[in-house]
Structures are given as C-alpha cells and as structure tokens.
Structure 1
Amino acid sequence: MNKPIIRVCLAALLGLPMAASAQNYAELDQANSTLGFTYTQMGVSLDGKFPRFDASLTYDPAAPASATTRVVVPLAPIDTGSAEGDAEVQGKDWFATDTHPTASFTSTSVEAKGPGQLLVTGTLSIKGNDRTVSVPVSVTEANGTATFDGTLKINRTDFGVGAGIWGDPEVVAHEVSISFHLVAAPAAQ
C-alpha cells in the first residue's frame, strides 16, 4: 500500500481533516501577467502600462510568510497612452532613463491577513530613490496557477518623478496607482 493511501485511511479512521497538499509557485507566466498604472493629468484620469517587466517570486500557501518577490521594470518602453507622453517621460524631469533605466520592488516581509490576503512590504526603487512600501495582495489559486493582484498608491514626487512644470499637481497629480496582475505556475520539479 502506498503512503498517500495510508495517510487518507488514517485521517478517515481518526476523523482528521486532510490538509491540501501545498504547492510552491515560482514560475511567472509572463504572457498573462500585467503591470500598469493610473495617473491624472489636467483633471483627466489616464491609464498606462509597462509592456515589459521581469519578476521572480516564491509562494507556498502553507507558509505565506516565507514568500518572496522581486520585480524589475525597464522604464523604456513605457505606454502612457500617447506617443508624445511616452517620449516625454524618458527625460530627466521624469524617469531619466539614461541614468536610471529600471525601477524595482524587492519584498522584505510578507504577512498573511486572512484567506487569500497578504500584506507585502518591501523596497520600491525609482530613479535612485528607495522607499519602504506595503501593498495588500489578493491571492487566488485555480487551474494549477496562483494569481496575485494588488494596487499600490504612491506619491511620484517621493521618487523625484515629474519635476519642473510637471511638479505642479494641477498639471499632473502627485498620486499614481500602480496595479499588477501576476500569474505564477508551480516551480519546475
């Protein structure tokens, strides 16, 4: 008789609940993952996205506090919703991609806040400025994958993004929402 059958029989005989077998998710499904942002310019809410990014993560639902993530985002290309905006944000008043070609987030702690709910804290680095941030994350497991969804609101001026005439919150609001949808498959065996 094999061990899984013995475990099921013992659990049934003793009236013990069966724990779901834990899955360690670590393979990012790049094609189905997205990273976007929402900003307000002259009173109009606009959406943009980062068409490329790399993420490494580990997540075991049985041990959420041991989860880790690191996301690195090349800031060129960027999709602000207009070709003119895409070119403008590459300059020194915005991302200064000549000297700061990427932004990154590296987790430092993960706290379970309830079923399928995490609070992920880490270092967000943009344009050479590092800030500790915390973001609520919803986790959904289905069809052999885990999906991580969340939105982080930041003040862009904390990172030196949007100087000169762009520093005026009447022109471009200081608050920016960064949203992500990361899909991960189990780690390769």
Structure 2
Amino acid sequence: MANTAWAQLDVAKSSVSIVAKQLGVPMDGKFKKFEATVDFNPAKLAQSTAKVDIDMASFDIGAEEYNKEVRGKDWFDTAKYPKATFVSSSIKQGVSGKYDVVGKLTIKGRTQDVVIGASYKQDAGGNVFEGVLPIKRNAFSIGEGDWKDTSVVADEVQIKFRIVTAVKK
C-alpha cells in the first residue's frame, strides 16, 4: 500500500460529537470547531501519529440556553479551559481490522490515558478515520456541583469522531 499520510483536514466531511444520557434519554451534541493532524501509514504504524484539538466553546447541543450552561464552570468551563486535546503515543493493529490509537486525552485540565478503537479507509473523498471513545465525565470534572450526581446525567459519555483528510501528494 502506498504512503497514505494525511494532510488537509476536510472540515465539511469531518465531525466530533458526543452522546450522553440525561434521565436515560440519549442527547447528542457536536463541536463545530476542531483541528486534526493525522499522519498515518498502515505499513509504518510506529511512525504514525494523530492529534486533535477541540474548541470547547464551539459545542452545540441544539439550544443556545443549554450551550451557554455547558460552557459554564460546572461543565466545560471554557473560559479557563478553551481546548480539549488528544495526542497519540502509538498506533497499533487492533482487532476486526481496526487500529488501537493509544494516547492522552486532556479535558478541563485533566489528562487520562486512553485507547481508541478506530477504523480507517480510503475513498474518493480522501482518508476516513472513524471511532468512538467512551469516557467517564466525572474523571474530567465535567458536571460539577449538583451535576456531579450521575442519576440525572449518566457518567458515561461517548465521543464520536469522523476525520476526513485529503491524501498527501
């Protein structure tokens, strides 16, 4: 397989979103602004890297009053922590044709080691990298004060991503 290093992020085809449950009902929200740099070659996994920076204030849950609440101190505290970041430390062959992307996720000033199971494919639009990362929101102090209780908003949150880039020429 040829070198499939990724270059330009295709913002229109890419997405980063979350799914959380409030009173057992799934709620979706998406981040409207993020940057991703992925240098990936299936034949050279040891040299492959990924980095994603998310503008936390760009989160949209569908209503401005809720968006404002989520940007506040109890949730994302975007004034103090404007970005969340994932930086890979290694990419390895995983199961079922997926790749294990090992790295550090930092949200709200707290860093956790994570492993993301991600799929990769090439299509006419470029390189497509997709996956889901389940996290515990309380591990990152997302939902403090009265919101720390997980009976209203569940502790588990799924971060879903689809990163599409053009192939380097």
TM-score bucket of the superposed structures, by smaller chain: over 0.9
Local SS of the residue matching 2:72: coil
Equivalent residue letter for 1:104: T
- Match of 2:60, SS state, is coil
- Distance in 1 between the 2:9 and 2:161 partners? 13
> Within 1, Cα distance between the matches of 2:125 and 2:80?
40
Verify the 8 A CA contact 1:27 1:57 in the aligned structure 2.
Answer: no
Q: Which amino acid aligns with 1:55?
A: A
Larger deviation, residues 140-149 vs 177-186: 140-149
**Structure 2 partner of 1:80:** 61
Read off the aligned partner of 1:109 and give its amino acid letter: S
Q: How many residues align?
A: 169
Secondary structure at the counterpart of residue 135 of structure 1: strand
> CA–CA distance in 1 between the matches of 2:97 and 2:126?
14
1:112 to 55, 79, 93: 93
> 1:39–1:46: 8 Å Cα contact kept in structure 2?
yes
Of all paired residues, the percent bearing the same amino acid is 38
Q: 1:65 offset after TM fit, Å? A: 3.0
| Residue aligning to 1:50 | 31
CA RMSD, 1 decimal: 1.5
Tell me the TM-score normalized by structure 2: 0.94
Q: Measure how far apart 1:114 and its partner are.
A: 5.5
SS for the counterpart of 2:154 is coil
- Work out which of the two has the higher radius of gyration on C-alpha atoms and give 1 or 2: 1
Structure holding more strand per residue: 2
Amino acid at match of 1:43: G
Q: Which has the higher contact order (CA 8 A, sep 6+)?
A: 2
Instruction: Structure 2 unaligned segments of length 5 or more: list them.
Output: none
